[in-house]
């Protein structure tokens, strides 16, 4: 229980708006107001209905009838309006601009970083790449750290990946580790992804910007020296500095690694690069068979609807999935199953309000609250006089 609660805090999973991920008609609400706006609406709706029940059941006075109707009918009418607008919005046609294949190798976390199993891991990725290439996609996605090495600094591993991509003749995004070296001893490590063109040449590098605290780095490490032995085997990475936009076929995409896709502001910034598609690569094997793996995937789905961009998510052990620009799930894989998932890239000609203006609803709510507060103060002072 404490672990799950901790994950909710770390991954910002407490916003109840994420519960609507399986319901596209309601989820379109986020394209205007973001997940914070949807969360507010859900809380308001339920509190209004609860107030109506309280008036009707516990007080049961005729003079409260109009309030009972107000607390029931107004929320129901607004909910119906939201549903109707959502149904109309998701009925708009999308344009198909290509296909993407997702590789889900299902590598056990207990052997993922064991050098004895490294060859088996690359063999597995080679087999899945060959399977995917038969579908002739425009891009092949490997999961986070699917290449378990500092790929650009390991000549043997890099040569093998280049050959895989060259034989498939299809561009690929490969999750791996990266280094930046200064001098002989100073090294900086990154959680990264490399974009290879169809000839097998690495032409783009993205370094993860938003790192997991106490997993990929230790906050205030120089002040928390006692934590060093606890976390040193989990990672000591540095954040990247820029979001990237890569091209494959007739579309472009921006990659986000692991839990970067759960932060609305991060995704919005990444898509300011002008990318058509949102790509999320992850390794959720850490979660085991818990609700966290499902929660993590559904939070990424909400980003798709929020930004009105299709999402392609490649996860080592699942859940890998594909959405359209409205957050509708087009296909997905089960947990802990080797799979190749191929789907069409569907794009919308319209950008979302949230994509253009961000969390404007927060500032609007702050303005209304401040205005109400000032009016209340003025009224009280006037009555006092």
**Alpha carbon distances (Å) from 326 to 128, 174, 315, 323:** 29, 27, 21, 8
Burial (CB count within 10 angstroms: exposed 0-12, middle 13-18, buried 19+), residue 33: buried
- The residue among 299, 355, 348 whose CA lies nearest residue 325 is 348
> Active-site positions?
144, 208, 258
> Are 231 and 257 contacting, i.e. CB atoms less than 8 angstroms apart?
no
Reading the block at residue 161, the tokens are: 């990946």
């Amino acid at each position: 229980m404490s672990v799950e609660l901790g994950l909710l805090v770390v991954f910002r999973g407490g916003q109840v708006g994420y519960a609507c991920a399986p319901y596209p008609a309601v989820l379109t609400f986020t394209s205007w107001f973001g997940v914070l706006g949807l969360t507010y609406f859900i809380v308001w709706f339920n509190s209004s209905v609860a107030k109506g029940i309280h008036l009707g059941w516990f007080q049961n006075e005729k003079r409260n009838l109009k309030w009972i109707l107000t607390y029931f009918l107004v929320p129901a009418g607004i909910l119906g309006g939201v549903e109707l607008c959502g149904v109309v919005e998701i009925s708009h046609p999308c344009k198909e601009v290509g296909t993407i294949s997702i590789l889900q190798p299902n590598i056990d976390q207990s052997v993922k970083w064991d050098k004895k199993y490294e060859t088996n891991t690359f063999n597995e990725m080679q087999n899945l790449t060959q399977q995917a290439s038969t579908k002739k996609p425009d891009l092949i996605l490997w999961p986070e750290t699917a290449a378990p090495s500092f790929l650009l600094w390991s000549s043997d591993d890099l040569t093998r990946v280049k050959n895989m991509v060259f034989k498939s003749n299809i561009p690929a995004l490969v999750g791996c580790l990266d280094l930046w070296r200064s001098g002989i001893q100073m090294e900086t490590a990154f959680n990264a992804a490399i974009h290879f063109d169809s000839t097998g040449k690495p032409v783009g590098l993205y370094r993860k910007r938003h790192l997991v605290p106490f997993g990929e780095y230790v906050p205030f490490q120089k002040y928390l020296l006692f934590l060093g032995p606890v976390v040193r085997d989990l990672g000591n990475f540095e954040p990247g500095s820029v979001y990237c936009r890569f091209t494959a076929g007739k579309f472009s995409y921006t990659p986000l690694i692991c839990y970067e896709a759960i932060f609305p502001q991060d995704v919005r910034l990444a898509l300011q690069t002008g990318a058509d598609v949102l790509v999320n690569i992850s390794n959720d094997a850490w979660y085991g068979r818990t609700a966290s793996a499902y929660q993590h995937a559904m939070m990424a789905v909400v980003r798709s609807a929020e930004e009105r961009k299709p999402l392609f998510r490649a996860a080592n052990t699942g859940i890998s999935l594909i959405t359209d620009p409205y957050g509708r799930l087009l296909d997905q894989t089960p947990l802990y199953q080797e799979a190749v998932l191929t789907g069409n890239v569907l794009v919308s000609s319209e950008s979302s309000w949230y994509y253009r203006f961000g969390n404007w609803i927060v500032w609007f709510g702050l303005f209304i609250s401040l205005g109400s507060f000032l009016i209340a103060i003025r009224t009280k002072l006037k009555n006092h006089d």
